[in-house]
Structure 1
Amino acid sequence: MVATFSSTGKDTFVGSPRSRVDGPAKVTGLAKYAGEFAAPDLAHGYVVSSAIAKGRIKAIDTAAAEAVPGVVKVFTHENRPRTAWLNYNYQDAVAPPGAPFRALYDDKIHYSGQPVALVVAEDFETARHAASLVSLDYEAEEPLTDTEAARDLAYRPSMNRNGIKPPPKPWGDPDQAYDQAPVKIREDYRLAIEHHNPMEPHASTVVYEGDGRYTVYDKIQGVSNSQGYLASVFGLNKDDLRVMNPYLGGGFGSGLRPQYQLFLAMLAARELERSVRVVLTRDQMWSFTYRPDALQTITLGAAQDGTLQALRHDAIEGTSHFEDYQEVVVNWAAILYKCDNVELTYRLAKLDTFTPGDMRAPGAVTGVFAIETAMDELAYATGQDPIRLRLKNYTEHDQTMQDKPFGSKALKSCFAQGAERFGWDKRDPEPRAMRDGRELVGWGMATGVWESMMMQTSAHAILTADGKLEVGNSTGDLGTGTYTILTQIAADTLGLTMEDVTTKLGDTRLPEAPVAGGSWTAASSGTAVMKACRDVGEQVFRLARQMENSPLANVDFDRVAFTDGRIEVAGDPGRSVTLVEAMRAGGVDRLEATAQAAPDKDFNDAYEAYTHSAIFAEVKVDEELGQVRLTRIVSAVAAGKILNPKTARSQILGGVVMGIGSALEEESMLDHRLGRFMNHNLGEYHVPVNADIYDIDVIFVEEEDKANPLGVKGLGEIGIVGTAGAIANAVFHATGKRIRHLPITVDKIIG
């Protein structure tokens, strides 16, 4: 992908608002997605999904489907090539403990919607029609899909996911402290199952290049993950397997792991020795990863002034029978608030479902909603302002990690600036005290928190003799602005304009980088790109010093600056050499470097790093109808250095909108008798639309952080964390009714 940008002529791009360099390609339709790449002799696959949630396939009849003109082959567990699943224990980069799901492996049905056949035809319409003719006879068993019903079967996972912090050991005596506390809060909280539903459905196009070589276009947030998956389960050589995904039409975590359409497309392409595309339908987007249901209990004991004396957060989440999906749900309370008596427990319950998956701010959306709602309840119980209560229990240390200090934490400034912008001081604290005509007005607030992470990453930089620069690595851009910020960083590092920089992503032939997720991409890939550009800068500087009568002959590298395509002595622009002149004099056509970036061990040994926010919400509730309108949100975010205020603001806006969905609309409804999601379409699974969104005000609070060389913290997740809690607290303030089970719908308000 070639990214172009019309420069404004400013010397510094990082820190200034810049439009997306990939924007023109997206709005003109030039950007291609995984299900859009063409290939000669391309066949199309259509997935047949299981109609039951648990049991086995007694018989499968494909004769009618195979008789349809244009059908190439129907794949089932009975005729699946034995070359598949050579490595049953393949673990992708973000997999939980257990055994990854294997499509068409045998006759067993593990969950509703499981793929049971793949019909391959010359065109999509024929494949879809033929798929409707595949007949299956099942032996069904009663499924268990209700986390509440499985509560007594819940267990503490013996293995933890890589990078997922387990709950710490208890400290103090929380039970005794709770019993002795004058103020007590103990309530249950629940967040409905949610599905990611990105605009682009999951798709894979496998292009057969001949001689056992393949080019694969896959909807994935990190192409290296798909490459490793295919190489492992099919026994392929990575050198013969190029995976690309230059654009994603949204992911929200659903594209972190390879999904089953990739396996099916490669299975068919290898067997048929021709190119095959498999695109999942919107209905089938409910047949894999989702944000899991969670049963949560928050127990707070406090003094009369609101000082916490006891804190418990207990959670049970559902997972599949074949994997132990885990996320950080209960740790957030002890990260946000100081308390001397704490116990945090996290358990799993096996269900007859697909494995849940990471969905934007996994664990934090769930756990922070519970603790921030409970803290609002404590504020009312102790008769004080919700901000004052949070400041009373404020901490500068992470108690879950041996009381390590935070490298930076500007949360107090988030409270202050957010409250001022919102007008919080005008709030009447009494529920149902504020009105606007027939509507009750409610104001609520909550805290947001997310990990600030950096991952091992590599990137390259290539400077050519015409003064053009290429940078990139294999990570993806979900639409977050990664193309743009990497272009900004590269342009600033070598003193070029942004239109002189091309950023390439999403290709396994580029230097390896982790999947795009966890809000670590800016810190990780940004640092790697900066280091690679600096390495190239040193090379071209050496060429400049060697020029005859060079004005830089006796100058050290740390005394020069790169600006306007030149290397100049800092403070003396008259002594300079252009990059083009230096390369021409050195007789080189290109200079290149690949650099590695990794977390700072010394920093991580001494500090913990988190992004923080304060969210303020206004709702208006029709007193008779119970309808909720969310009319205002202010989100004040402390996230270190902001590389691009324009794309950064968009990230927070998107997160807030998803938070609104969690609070008021999104709910995947399981019929536990069938074990099936019943509202598996965008007509019945409600997400916020334009008419639901009013004013969203984003504040970036100034904060300096040294966790990485760029001083940045991630923004992808923090916008959603805490938003649902602020809205739920606002609904209570408006109505006097505390709703602890999201989403907040009309029936819960008037029921």
Structure 2
Amino acid sequence: MNAERQIGQDRVRVDRPLKVTGTAPYAYEQPTDAPLHLYPLTSNVPRGRVRSIDARAAEALPGVQLVLTQENAPKLLVKADPELYILQSPDVLYWGQFIGAVVADTPEIARHAASLVTVTYDDAPFDAHFRPDHPQAYRPRRVNAFKKTDTHEGDVDAALAHAPVTVDRTYTTPTEHHNPIGPHPVKAIWHDESPLNVTARRLTLYDANQGHLMVLAPMLGLLPAQMIIHTPYVGGSFGTKGMPHAHLILTALAAKTLPGRPVKYAMTRQQMFDTTGYRPEIHQRVRLAASADGRLTALTHDAVAPTAR
């Protein structure tokens, strides 16, 4: 049947029965034997350094298999993406940053054990307030899609000065967080059947991601062929699942420390606001010039937005 004849016709989606009945096997539900459950340790200061982590109470809890911190985490080989380069130093760069994780037999034990870990910090000054006239504002060399930051064509100032009709408006939008129905889940299995045979190592990920995950391979010391990625269902994205985030590295590091055991983690709704990206607030000034009959003769659009330090 051609496309024109399909328009307006009822068509059954292949995955509709599974999704409607709640039986669609998303990444978190993919069957594996004896999975372990991860709950992260996150910073509660916006900037500084971790002075100490006391995990003795958590480690003594029955069912806890691992308390992972920067002191015992496997080393990442390359800093391919600063957002993913976690547990490699005591530095804290933002509130909610992953500074460790607890892995246990059940999600309840992992979450309870994480609450027993005591972290002390050396605080550092921070400035997280965005404003268009910030003294450290700058023009990046490139912006989205590697376009030039500033482009000009014609004498806009002259057109604005002589136009019989002008409009000068400033628009602001707040920070917006994408929150799809399915929060970020991941399940990681580190296979290391032969420690003496590097090619026997591989990582299997069950993930809900639309983005390119191969940046993870060199960070973990793997070739792309040594990574197996399953994305059965995304569960909604709205931009947040268009690229890898730090929870993938966190779970992979835990799996690497416990080779052969599946380690699974699904973010809480609260954690979605800290480590999975967002649409930043933006300040936009638009100026228009037009002739008396409404024909546009000039347009300017100046935008200021925050970026990561």
Given the two structures, how large is their TM-score scaled by the length of structure 2? 0.90
1:244 to 230, 253, 258: 230
Distance in 2 separating the partners of 1:76 and 1:217: 23
Q: Post-superposition shift, 1:291?
A: 0.4
- The residue number in structure 1 matching 2:292 is 304
Distance in 2 separating the partners of 1:198 and 1:294: 22
1:104 has 2:93 as partner: no
Cα RMSD for the two superposed structures: 1.9
Distance in 2 separating the partners of 1:241 and 1:214: 5
Q: Post-superposition shift, 1:45?
A: 0.6
Rate the CA distance shift 1:300–1:12 in 2: closer, same or farther, 3 A: closer
2:68 maps to a residue whose letter is: F
User: For 1:318, what is the secondary structure of its paired residue?
Assistant: coil
Q: Post-superposition shift, 1:166?
A: 3.1
1:50 to 16, 27, 43: 43
Distance in 2 separating the partners of 1:52 and 1:309: 50
Q: Post-superposition shift, 1:110?
A: 1.1
* 8 Å CA contact 1:44, 1:276 repeated in 2: yes
- The residue number in structure 1 matching 2:198 is none
1:189 maps to a residue whose letter is: Y
Rate the CA distance shift 1:298–1:133 in 2: closer, same or farther, 3 A: same
User: For 1:38, what is the secondary structure of its paired residue?
Assistant: coil
1:49 maps to a residue whose letter is: T
- The residue number in structure 2 matching 1:285 is 272
2:215 maps to a residue whose letter is: Y
* 8 Å CA contact 1:45, 1:127 repeated in 2: yes
Rate the CA distance shift 1:48–1:100 in 2: closer, same or farther, 3 A: closer
- The residue number in structure 1 matching 2:220 is 234
1:21 to 14, 17, 20: 14
User: For 1:265, what is the secondary structure of its paired residue?
Assistant: helix
- The residue number in structure 1 matching 2:196 is none
- The residue number in structure 2 matching 1:403 is none
1:198 has 2:184 as partner: no
- The residue number in structure 2 matching 1:377 is none
Q: Post-superposition shift, 1:179?
A: 1.6
* 8 Å CA contact 1:198, 1:252 repeated in 2: yes
Distance in 1 separating the partners of 2:30 and 2:215: 21
1:218 maps to a residue whose letter is: D
Distance in 2 separating the partners of 1:298 and 1:241: 47
2:257 maps to a residue whose letter is: E
Distance in 2 separating the partners of 1:238 and 1:175: 52
User: For 1:253, what is the secondary structure of its paired residue?
Assistant: coil
* 8 Å CA contact 1:215, 1:242 repeated in 2: yes
1:217 maps to a residue whose letter is: Y
- The residue number in structure 2 matching 1:140 is 123
Q: Post-superposition shift, 1:284?
A: 0.5
Q: Post-superposition shift, 1:187?
A: 1.8
1:177 has 2:159 as partner: yes
User: For 1:171, what is the secondary structure of its paired residue?
Assistant: coil
1:284 maps to a residue whose letter is: Q
- The residue number in structure 2 matching 1:272 is 258
* 8 Å CA contact 2:80, 2:215 repeated in 1: no
Distance in 1 separating the partners of 2:2 and 2:155: 54
Distance in 2 separating the partners of 1:264 and 1:67: 22
Given the two structures, how large is their TM-score scaled by the length of structure 1? 0.38
Task: Structure 1: state its 5+ residue gaps.
Answer: 1-10, 91-98, 322-751
Distance in 2 separating the partners of 1:318 and 1:150: 11
1:221 has 2:210 as partner: yes
1:320 has 2:308 as partner: yes
Distance in 2 separating the partners of 1:140 and 1:69: 33
The sequence identity of aligned pairs, in percent, is 38
Aligned ranges for residues 359-378 of structure 1 at < 5 Å? none
Q: Post-superposition shift, 1:150?
A: 5.7
* 8 Å CA contact 2:67, 2:102 repeated in 1: yes
Q: Post-superposition shift, 1:167?
A: 5.0
User: For 2:283, what is the secondary structure of its paired residue?
Assistant: strand
Q: Post-superposition shift, 1:81?
A: 1.5
User: For 1:311, what is the secondary structure of its paired residue?
Assistant: strand
Rate the CA distance shift 1:28–1:141 in 2: closer, same or farther, 3 A: same
User: For 1:132, what is the secondary structure of its paired residue?
Assistant: helix
* 8 Å CA contact 1:207, 1:216 repeated in 2: yes
User: Aligned pair count?
Assistant: 297
Aligned ranges for residues 82-93 of structure 1 at < 5 Å? 82=75, 85-90=76-81
Moved over 6 A (4+): none
2:189 to 207, 213, 217: 207
Rate the CA distance shift 1:312–1:234 in 2: closer, same or farther, 3 A: same
User: For 1:169, what is the secondary structure of its paired residue?
Assistant: coil
1:262 maps to a residue whose letter is: L
- The residue number in structure 1 matching 2:197 is none
Rate the CA distance shift 1:13–1:276 in 2: closer, same or farther, 3 A: same
User: For 1:151, what is the secondary structure of its paired residue?
Assistant: coil
* 8 Å CA contact 2:140, 2:149 repeated in 1: no
Distance in 1 separating the partners of 2:176 and 2:91: 26
1:76 to 54, 69, 75: 69
* 8 Å CA contact 1:190, 1:296 repeated in 2: yes
Rate the CA distance shift 1:316–1:15 in 2: closer, same or farther, 3 A: farther
Distance in 1 separating the partners of 2:34 and 2:92: 33
User: For 1:153, what is the secondary structure of its paired residue?
Assistant: coil
- The residue number in structure 2 matching 1:397 is none
Distance in 1 separating the partners of 2:146 and 2:238: 18
2:114 to 117, 127, 131: 131
**Structure with larger Rg:** 1
Q: Post-superposition shift, 1:208?
A: 4.1
2:268 maps to a residue whose letter is: T
User: For 1:129, what is the secondary structure of its paired residue?
Assistant: helix
* 8 Å CA contact 1:151, 1:316 repeated in 2: no
1:247-275 Cα distance to aligned partner (Å, 9 max, x none): 11100111111111111111111111121
User: For 2:135, what is the secondary structure of its paired residue?
Assistant: helix
* 8 Å CA contact 1:295, 1:315 repeated in 2: yes
